[in-house]
Amino acid sequence: MSTYNEFEEEQYGKLNAHIFGRLVALLKPHWKYAVGFLLCISMVSAIDSYTTFLSKRIIDEGIIAGSREAIVQTIILYGSVILLQALGAFGFIYLVGILAERVRYDLRKKMFNHLQKLSLSYFSETPVGWIMSRLTSDTERLSDLMTWGILDITWAVINISTAGIFMFIINPNLAVIVFIMLPILIIVAIQFRTRILYHYRRSRKMNSKITGAFNEGISGVRVIKALSREDSNLGEFAVLTEGMYDASFRAAWLSALFLPTVQVISAFGLGIVLWRGGMQVQIGNMTIGGIQAFVSYITFIMWPIQDIARVYAQMQNAVASAERIFGLIDTEPSVKNRLITVETENIEGDIRFENVHFYYEEDDPVIKNLNFEVKHGDMVALVGPTGGGKSTIVNLLCRFYEPTQGTIYINDVDYQDMKLEDIQSRIGVVLQTPHLFSGSIRDNIRYGRLTATDEEIEEAAKLAGAHDFIMKFEKGYDQDVGEGGNLLSVGQKQLISIARALLAEPELFIMDEATSSVDTLTEALIQQGMDRLMEGRTSFVIAHRLSTIKRADKILVIEDGQIAEMGTHRELILKKGKYYKLYTQQFRQELEAQYDVLNQPEPAQAN
């Protein structure tokens, strides 16, 4: 069993000008917060370096010179700038927090809004987990880089710059020695972070596979237990976890080695500074306070370099997230309105398929040269073997997809000249596996028309045959349906979805295998609801149970993407072709099932 859908190989790009420009554009709407944040953090970082310079004054002008007045003045100045620094620290943390949330909100809103515009084909071809990862983890990673990453980089650059300025003020010769060491430290830090990131990515990829294994193991637990596949699953899971352990171990080992390496290099540089500084003190070119300040400034420089290396590694990861997010946002819907569209008052008129072909993939036709016409108010039944193209015809009619060749006309108008929303808002659909949203029964029915009153909701439920079972619940219409409606039976969900479709008052109704998974009694209830829904409306019905479509005005037998037969139930039975075989075969099976029930022995009576 494969436990991971390798929909996408992890791709990690480089920060090019295009990506950088789009990232900066995310901050433009909130430039006031960004400017305020940069000013605050610049002030805090500069004060850090200045307070170190003040410690030099205390040592040189106060302690060594024995001037109490100099100590008091310096301490008062120190306290004043620390208060100012505290205000700045509050300011930049507050502003960067707001900035992070606003960027995150903008990204998610933009992606979610764009997802509403994408065609059904996008969701058919793209795993839900991939989309959710873009909306959650990639958004988090990118917004954190655009805010806290900028904070770390700004802090590091200003710390290095201000520390360098003060070092050159104290002793230019020693400052040059320190800045000669900086490239070495930066190269070492980036090399370590690059290697750590490589193993981290391996770990992350393995973690994705483990998550997939968890997901399949939990969602498919009944099948696993029924087939006694626990040991096999454990073996596959062990291989995945071993791979993740290896990658995580290497990343942890390099991370542990990174800090000591930087410290050794820093200690070497610090030793040179102390040696040279000591010699400078002996000849009177430098003070003890100056050496102390130099040591502090070296520390100021070392930690920011590590921050720069860390953010550099995160940036590579975030660029991959940015590419995936922008890739989703840049995805064009395969079905969209033309530049010039026709105003559509209704879609209640005739429907005509003319030489319609459709391909999901090139050279693999699903629908071939489809031609038929439906008059207003007709009920059309689509029957035939699974995979023949019945659902594809319905998807084309709803304009979830568009014909690869040929034309579909509504009221003698090419439906591609109409607005998508004008067509889809007037179609009611009841699916084979109806989807209910988390919430109450009332909320799910109201989804058909959000402005509906409670009275209209109850009337729709009564027409659909759902009112009686709803009122048996303790909370009635306010009963919670659970996630995806899992607290209700399949039949109950179907009746609620029919009530929802009734409330929407569609001009065209489509039912896709709505009675294939229910018992005979529930099927009768669903059939009654469907009859009310289809009354006076053009309707398309897909059904395996041929008893539900005998009253259709037109039956299309779909086989291999083509119309094998077309006519009424009576015409096709008399023709004794494919439909006749389908009907008689199912009729025979139903008779045999009834015969088996009637011929079962009576249970023995207890004495």
**Does pLDDT of 220 surpass 60?**
yes
Alpha carbons 125 and 131: distance in angstroms, whole number:
11
**Which tokens in the block code for residue 315?**
């940036």
Torsion angle of C-alpha atoms 147, 152, 157, 158, degrees rounded to 10: 90
* 49 CB neighbour count, 10 Å cutoff: 22
CATH code for the domain of 52? 1.20.1560.10
Confirm whether 591 is domain-assigned: no
| Res. 240 pLDDT band, cuts 50 70 90 | confident
Which pLDDT tens digit goes with each residue over 462-485? Answer: 888 888 889 999 899 999 998 888
pLDDT in tens, 55-65: 877 787 777 77
Report d(CA 96, CA 32) in Å as an integer. 11
Could you give the CA distance from residue 336 to residue 266 in angstroms, rounded to a whole number?
A: 60
- Token readout for 537 is 């409306």
For 244-286, the DSSP string reads HHHHHHHHHHHHHHHHHHHHHHHHHHHHHHHHHHHHHHHTTSS
What integer is the mean pLDDT of 83-93?
89
* pLDDT confidence bin for 256, thresholds 50/70/90: confident
Spatial contact of 351 and 414, defined as CB atoms under 8 Å apart: no
Structure tokens given for 86: 């505290």
Which residue range(s) make up the domain with 160? 17-330
Cα–Cα distance for residue pair 192/194, rounded to 1 Å: 5
Single-letter amino acid code for the residue at 404: T
Structure tokens at 408: 């579909």
Residue 7 pLDDT greater than 90, yes or no: no
Per-residue confidence (pLDDT) for residue 10, from 0 to 100? 45
Task: Burial-class residue 287 by CB neighbours within 10 Å (0-12, 13-18, 19+).
Answer: buried
Two tokens, residue 301? 């420089």
R_g over Cα of the chain? 36
Fill in the DSSP letter of residue 437.
-
Q: Which residues contact 144 (CB under 8 A, 6 or more apart)?
A: 100, 314, 318
User: Rounded to an integer, what distance in angstroms lies between the CA atom of residue 248 and that of residue 382?
Assistant: 55
The SS3 assignment for 125 reads helix
CA distance 511 to 346: 20
Cβ partners under 8 Å of residue 31, min gap 6: none
The per-residue pLDDT for range 322-353, each reduced to its tens digit, is 877 888 888 888 888 887 778 777 777 789 99
Give 539-580 pLDDT, tens digit per residue: 888 876 666 677 788 999 999 889 999 998 889 888 888 888
pLDDT at 40 over 60: yes
Which residue is it, tokens 């050496």? 291
* pLDDT more than 90, % of the chain: 9
Q: Is the pTM of this model over 0.85?
A: no
Closest-CA residue to 391 (of 432, 428, 354, 347): 432
In a domain, 200, yes or no: yes
Q: Is the pLDDT of residue 446 over 90?
A: yes
pLDDT band at 282 (very low <50, low <70, confident <90, very high): confident
Q: Which residue has the tokens 């034309």?
A: 407
**Nearest 5°: CA angle at 540, between 539 and 543?**
130
Number of neighbouring beta carbons within 10 Å of residue 126: 17
Q: Is residue 569 part of a domain?
A: no
Ramachandran assignment for 522, one of left (phi > 0), alpha (psi -120 to 50 degrees), beta (any other):
alpha
Average pLDDT over every residue of 276-293: 77
Write down the pLDDT at residue 607: 44
Evaluate whether residue 417 is within a structural domain: no
Q: How confident is the model at residue 599 (pLDDT cuts 50, 70, 90)?
A: low
Asked whether residue 502 is domain-assigned, the answer is: no
Tell me if 366 is assigned to some domain: no
Query: Tokens 């390798």 label which residue?
Result: 6
Mean pLDDT in residue range 275-288: 77
Asked if residue 125 belongs to a domain, the reply is yes
**What mean pLDDT is reported for the chain?**
79
Using 50, 70 and 90 to split pLDDT, how confident is the model at 537?
Answer: confident
- The C-alpha torsion from 493 through 497 and 502 to 505, rounded to 10°, is 170
Per-residue model confidence (pLDDT) at position 487 = 87
Rounded Cα–Cα distance for residues 241 and 260 (Å): 29
Residue 317 above 90 pLDDT? no
DSSP letter (8 states) at residue 485:
G
**φ and ψ of 461, to 5 deg:** -65, -40
Q: How many domains are contained in the chain? A: 1
d(CA 20, CA 319): 9
Q: Within 10 A of 44 (CB to CB), how many other CB atoms are there?
A: 22
CB 535 within 8 A of CB 502: no
DSSP per residue, 333-391? PSS---SS-B--S---S-EEEEEEEEEEETTEEEEEEEEEEE-TT-EEEEE-STTSSHH
370 token code pair: 């489809």
Minimal CA–CA distance to 407: which of 367, 365, 360, 376? 367
Average pLDDT rounded to a whole number, residues 101-110: 88
Could you tell me the two tokens for 379?
């009920």
Position of tokens 């050279």? 363
Residue 527: inside a domain: no
Whole-number pLDDT of residue 20: 74
d(CA 167, CA 178): 9
Q: Looking at the predicted structure, is the pLDDT value of residue 442 above 90? A: yes
